[in-house]
Structure 1
């Protein structure tokens, strides 16, 4: 059981972006551009939000609070709030969900399961995982709002709209 928890805690946060990349490859060009632009924005925003949240809230890791708990894998005894792994994986999942609902939903479930495994492994508290998911949702919402402004201003050929806008 411990091996499964460690595997879920360490592999799922890496598997989410890998599956997202495969989903991205199957999208039409306009969706690829939209998702890529929103991904850059969302990832910058979520990284900033993680830093702000960590600065506002200190939450020592479970094994640092209770010496009777031993983490299932080596981890520094730093601030665990929010869960970076969960925040980044959930950001990717929410982004994919905007274009491939089912795939995104599965990726979000994987992000949450990975976070839960990190709680079971004694390297995070539940609130660290919840905060990571919330920050991801905020970052993707910010990226979606930004895309509404940026998208219409991109050249048509970038979005794969053929010769629209070209001059002879």
Structure 2
């Protein structure tokens, strides 16, 4: 059981980015450009928020607090707050959700499950996972708002003939 938890804790956070790459490859060119730009901005915003949160709040990892429950896989004893794995996986899932709702929801569930597996593996506390998801929501919301404003301004510009980037069915 411990091996399964450790495997889930390490692999589940990789599923949303992998699925996003496949989705990106399947999108038409305007959709690829839009998703690619949004991904760069959202991941950068997530990285900044993760760094700020980690600077503001220190949370020793569970295996550091209670050596009777060692980590189920090798891990550094650094600050566990917030869970950057969960933050990045959830950010990608939420970004996918903006163009493929059902797929995004599934990926968000996988991201949270990966975070919970990291709790079960004794490398994070629940608050680390919750903070990671909140950071992802903030980063993707800000990115979506920014791109909405940019697209509106572009459409309102004199001589503009482009249509909104192709967003796939939800």
State whether TM-score is above 0.5: yes
CA contact (8 A) 1:82 1:131 kept: yes
Q: Give CA deviations for 1:88-127 in whole Å, capped at 9, x if unaligned.
A: 0000000000000111111101100000000000000000
Instruction: Show structure 2 runs of 5+ residues with no match.
Output: none
Superposition RMSD in Å? 1.9
Number of equivalences: 160
CA contact (8 A) 1:34 1:151 kept: no
Q: Which residue of 1 aligns with 2:79?
A: 79
Given the two structures, how large is their TM-score scaled by the length of structure 2? 0.88
Instruction: Show structure 1 runs of 5+ residues with no match.
Output: 161-168
Within a 5 Å distance, the mapping from 1:102-121 to structure 2 comes to 102-121=102-121
Structure 1 residue 158: Cα displacement: 10
Compared CA separation, residues 17 and 148, structure 1 to 2 (3 A):
same
Q: Give CA deviations for 1:10-67 in whole Å, capped at 9, x if unaligned.
A: 1111122111111122223332222111111111111000011001110000011111
Within a 5 Å distance, the mapping from 1:100-139 to structure 2 comes to 100-139=100-139
CA contact (8 A) 2:151 2:164 kept: no
Residues in 2 aligned to 1:149 and 1:16: alpha-carbon distance in whole angstroms = 26
